A and B are shown apart, each in its own frame.
Chain A
Amino acid sequence: GENVEQHPSTLSVQEGDSAVIKCTYSDSASNYFPWYKQELGKRPQLIIDIRSNVGEKKDQRIAVTLNKTAKHFSLHITETQPEDSAVYFCAATVYNNNDMRFGAGTRLTVKP
């Protein structure tokens, strides 16, 4: 099955700075890459996703980039705010497979 590695495991930034979280995957057939956010004590929720026919996708302050050749994708958060503090999980899967495997997570702390 797919193996997803995520870095860094923890990330601390000052409010207003940007944050970048990177993931690599092993299966070249993977073509769907979602990102989930888990706030403390809450359930994970989808924040953005990208398919392999697209190199970049943006949604307000959040963007995801994909490099299929290198088999890595990244989450970019600009103008970070304290409410962005959470654990972020990346995942990779083959679109018609439904088998969703997650990275180990990144704990983001945004200091006011």
Chain B
Amino acid sequence: GAGVSQSPSNKVTEKGKDVELRCDPISGHTALYWYRQSLGQGLEFLIYFQGNSAPDKSGLPSDRFSAERTGGSVSTLTIQRTQQEDSAVYLCASSPTPLGQGPGELFFGEGSRLTVL
């Protein structure tokens, strides 16, 4: 595809339900990032994948959050037992730079807006 694709673009769910957010990075990009952006706030780092290496999960806010990246491409961010404070835009970004050659430009998706009622 031409860019990073995220789905759904909007998701409204009830408190306590589980949600899955999908990110399809640019083909060939080895690095994939998830960020959370609450209304009017900054880019909060959640998790980072680089190739087949173990992901950096240091930004996940609680054990209700998990993410996986299958086959080094598509990634899914899962939030279990959603809470109202999980409401935010979840942004995915990918980068073409292989590990050891430094961070390249991050290409962001449009984001998935999650609203927990």
Nearest B-chain residue to A6, judged by Cβ? B42
Q: Which residues of A contact B48 (CB under 8 A)?
A: 98-100
Are B95's CB and A43's CB within 8 A? no
Are B110's CB and A43's CB within 8 A? yes
Nearest A-chain residue to B58, judged by Cβ? A1
Q: Which residues of B contact A34 (CB under 8 A)?
A: 103, 105-106
Are A98's CB and B97's CB within 8 A? yes
Central interface residue in A6, A93, A100, A102, by most chain B CB within 10 Å: A100
Are B102's CB and A32's CB within 8 A? yes
Contact with B along A69-112 (1 / 0, CB 8 A): 00000000000000000000100010111111111110000000
Nearest A-chain residue to B110, judged by Cβ? A43
Name the one of B31, B43, B97, B99 contacting A102, with C-beta atoms under 8 angstroms: B43
**Interface of chain B, helix or strand or loop or mixed?**
loop
**Please, how many angstroms separate the alpha-carbon atoms of A44 and B58 in the complex?**
22
Tell me if A46 counts as interface (CB < 8 A to partner B). yes
Separation in Å of the A3 CB from the closest CB of chain B?
11
**Please, how many angstroms separate the alpha-carbon atoms of A1 and B97 in the complex?**
20
Nearest A-chain residue to B40, judged by Cβ? A107
**Please, how many angstroms separate the alpha-carbon atoms of A104 and B43 in the complex?**
7
Listed in ascending order, the chain B residues whose CB lies under 8 Å from chain A are: 31, 33, 35, 41-43, 45, 48, 50, 56, 58, 91, 95, 97, 99-103, 105-106, 108-111
15 A-B residue pairs with Cβ-Cβ distance under 8 Å, sorted by A, are A32-B102, A34-B103, A43-B91, A43-B108, A43-B109, A46-B105, A96-B102, A97-B103, A98-B50, A98-B99, A99-B45, A99-B48, A102-B35, A102-B42, A105-B43
